[in-house]
Copies of this chain bind each other. A is one copy, B any other.
Amino acid sequence: VAEPRWLDETEARAWRGFLAAYRELMAEIGGRLMAESGLSAAEYEVLVPLSEAPGDVLRARDLAVAVGWERSRLSHQISRMAKRDLVVREDCEEDARGAMVRLTDAGRAAITAAAPSHVEAVRQYFLDALTSEEVETLGTAFGRLRAALPREKGEQGQERG
Q: List 25 A-B contacts (CB under 8 A).
A: A4-B115, A4-B117, A5-B123, A7-B119, A7-B127, A14-B135, A14-B139, A15-B126, A15-B127, A17-B142, A18-B126, A20-B68, A20-B146, A22-B22, A24-B146, A25-B145, A25-B149, A125-B149, A126-B145, A129-B141, A130-B141, A130-B144, A137-B137, A137-B141, A138-B141
Complex: chain B residue closest to A3, CB-CB: B116
Within residues 1 to 50 of chain A, which ones have a CB less than 8 A from any CB in chain B? Answer: 1, 4-7, 10-11, 13-15, 17-18, 20-25, 27-28
Alpha-carbon gap, A11 to B139, bound state (A): 8
Taking the full assembly, how many copies of this chain does it contain?
2
Contact A148 B122 (CB under 8 A): no
Q: Which of B4, B126, B149 is the one whose CB lies under 8 Å from A119?
A: B4
Given the known interface contacts A15-B127, A145-B125, the answer about A68 and B23 at a Cβ–Cβ threshold of 8 Å is yes
In the assembled complex, A91 has its CB within 8 A of some CB on chain B: no
